[in-house]
């Protein structure tokens, strides 16, 4: 057998993609499986976005572009940051990549030296720790359980910072919990960060538009404009415009950091797909009502699923601020069910016995929970909830 690098041996394949693949394989084998594992909206990409891509294709816009993205898309991104977030960026501060995943990957590769620490609140998006490991960095996980609404406290942040800390990652609203930090909570974290000027901050705003909290969307730069020189804002069109397969993410931050990330990109993937860039530009500059249509539907499903879950003895599910996930605590249920000791076994039990595929909380650094994606039809959700109730 082939001896592989220590680097690849240190990481695992994405557990969320694995569960989706497993559900697909079981379905192909004739099993009736309802998938609640998906990390993508179930809606089609809006027609006006698709039409612009078809036009780009017909016009022969099918060649290499600038590595960092076409100027017209970068202008649309700068405009988006200005109007949605009140943030000013020059084009040289913006990098377009093949999905939000590549944006963070570039960041880790450009920023981290061996042993550099990255503070990652848990529950976390599955890819952060592994992308840090792939850059020879050290993930420092700070646990924020349900009792603290899945949000870390300033004291926890302070305790996690060391002289090796290079980066602090905030993802709000969060995959997998759907929890969003308020402006006051971000200000409180800012009080800690102001004592550590060498710590960079990455705010992953991927779910910015899928939000129904009271205060509306805010990130750390809204709370602390003075952190602008050491903050990188990550975002993308995948979730907001149901464009996961198009692979367009973008970020903005200090020009020298963006330039370094662009070097990584230039020696790995080069420019993101030319046609997708045109589509992303249309998404950002065109009619935004497609977002509201999805939002209304997600909220309706959220309300239904949270209420149904909480009606089950042993399941405790917080309502979320946004995203298309809910993250119920099932610890009491695990205590009650014979032969099922943890969330991994519970997820296995549900897929085998109830035909419901979902991701165990352990994948996100939070055992005793499960992540349910509500990015599927109401009919599927009703059916899935009935099956879960039956199974437990
Ligand atoms: N950030 C978060 C928090 C996510 O949940 C995801 C996707 O699951 C991404 C970034 C990356 O999205 P993509 O690479 O599909 O644009």
pLDDT for 258 beyond 90: yes
The helix/strand count (H/E) of the chain reads as 15, 12
Helix axis angle for 127-134 and 100-111, nearest 10°, is 40
Residue 341 alpha carbon to ligand 1 centre in Å: 30
**Whole-number pLDDT of residue 12:** 80
Judge if the upstream peptide bond of residue 109 is cis by omega within 30 degrees of 0.
Answer: no
176 DSSP assignment: T
pLDDT at 17 over 80: no
Q: Give the integer Cα–Cα distance in Å for 278 and 260.
A: 24
CA-based nearest residue to 140, from 264, 369, 150, 159: 159
pLDDT confidence bin for 271, thresholds 50/70/90: very high
Q: Which tokens go with 42?
A: 């179930």
Task: Give the least confident one: 21-30, 59-68, 175-184, 346-355.
Answer: 21-30
For ligand 1, what atom is nearest to the CA of residue 249? 16
Strands 325-326 and 370-373: antiparallel
Give residue 13's pLDDT: 76
Q: What H or E segment, with its residue span, contains residue 387?
A: helix 378-391
Quick one: pLDDT at residue 347?
93
Q: Per-residue pLDDT tens for 97-106?
A: 999 999 999 9
pLDDT at 19: 78
Cβ atoms within 10 Å of 352's Cβ, excluding its own: 12
The reported pLDDT for the residue numbered 16 is 73
Decide if pLDDT at 10 tops 90.
no
Do the beta carbons of residue 186 and residue 224 sit within 8 Å?
Answer: yes
Per-residue pLDDT at 18: 76
pLDDT exceeding 70 applies to what percent of the chain?
100
Q: What is the mean pLDDT of residues 296-317?
A: 97
Q: Which of 171, 174, 238 to mutate to test the pocket of ligand 1 (most atoms within 8 A of CB)?
A: 238
Of 324, 118, 121, nearest to 211 by C-alpha is: 324
> Mean per-residue pLDDT for 162-185?
98
pLDDT higher than 90, residue 15: no
pLDDT single digits (tens) 221-241: 999 999 999 999 999 999 999
CB atoms within 10 A of CB 96: 28
Q: Is the CA virtual torsion 233, 238, 244, 248 positive or negative? A: negative
Cα 205 to middle of ligand 1, angstroms: 9
* pLDDT at residue 23 tops 90: no
Q: Tell me the domains of the chain and their CATH numbers.
A: 6-44+289-391 (3.90.1150.10), 63-285 (3.40.640.10)
Return the pLDDT at 353: 92
Residue 136 has pLDDT above 80, yes or no: yes
Q: Judge whether residue 53 has pLDDT over 90.
A: yes
Residue 14 has pLDDT above 90, yes or no: no
DSSP 8-state code for residue 96: E
Per-residue confidence (pLDDT) for residue 21, from 0 to 100: 82
Q: Report the C-alpha gap between 90 and 104 in whole angstroms.
A: 20
Of 19, 99, 283, 321, the residue with max ligand 1 atoms within 8 A of its CB, to mutate for a pocket test, comes to 99
**What's the CA-to-centroid distance between 100 and ligand 1, angstroms?**
5
């Amino acid at each position: 057998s082939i001896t592989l690098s220590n680097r690849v041996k240190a990481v695992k394949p994405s557990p969320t993609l694995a569960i989706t693949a497993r559900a697909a394989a079981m379905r192909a084998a004739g099993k009736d499986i309802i998938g609640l594992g998906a990390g993508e909206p179930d809606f089609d990409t809006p027609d006006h976005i698709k039409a612009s891509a078809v036009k780009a294709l017909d016009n022969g816009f099918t060649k290499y572009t600038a590595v960092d993205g076409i100027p017209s898309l970068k202008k649309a991104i700068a405009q988006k940051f200005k109007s949605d977030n009140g943030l000013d960026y020059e084009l040289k501060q913006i990098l377009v990549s093949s999905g939000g995943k590549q944006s963070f990957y570039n960041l880790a590769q450009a920023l981290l030296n061996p042993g550099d620490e990255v503070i990652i609140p848990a529950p976390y998006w599955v890819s952060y720790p592994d992308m840090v490991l792939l850059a020879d960095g050290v993930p420092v996980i700070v646990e924020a359980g349900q009792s603290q609404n899945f949000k870390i406290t300033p004291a926890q942040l302070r305790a996690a910072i060391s002289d090796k800390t290079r980066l602090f990652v905030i993802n709000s609203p969060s995959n997998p919990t759907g929890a969003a930090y308020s402006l006051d909570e971000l200000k409180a974290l800012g009080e800690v960060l102001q004592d550590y000027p060498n710590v960079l901050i990455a705010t992953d705003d991927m779910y910015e538009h899928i939000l129904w909290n009271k205060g509306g969307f805010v990130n750390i730069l809204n709370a602390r404009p003075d952190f602008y020189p050491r903050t990188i804002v990550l975002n993308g069109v995948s979730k907001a415009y149901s464009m996961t397969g198009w692979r367009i993410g973008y970020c903005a931050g200090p020009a020298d950091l963006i330039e370094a990330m662009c070097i990584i990109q230039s020696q790995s993937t080069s420019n993101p797909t030319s046609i997708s860039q045109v589509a992303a530009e249309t998404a950002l500059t065109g009619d935004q009502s497609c977002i509201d249509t999805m939002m209304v539907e997600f909220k309706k499903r959220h309300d239904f699923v949270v209420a149904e879950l909480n009606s089950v003895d042993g399941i405790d599910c917080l309502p979320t601020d946004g995203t298309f996930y809910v993250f119920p605590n099932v610890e009491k249920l695990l205590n009650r069910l014979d032969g099922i000791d943890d969330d991994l076994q519970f997820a296995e039990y549900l897929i085998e016995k109830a035909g419901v595929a979902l991701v165990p909380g352990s994948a996100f650094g939070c055992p005793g929970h499960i992540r349910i994606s509500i990015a599927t039809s109401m009919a599927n959700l009703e059916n899935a909830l009935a099956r879960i109730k039956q199974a437990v």
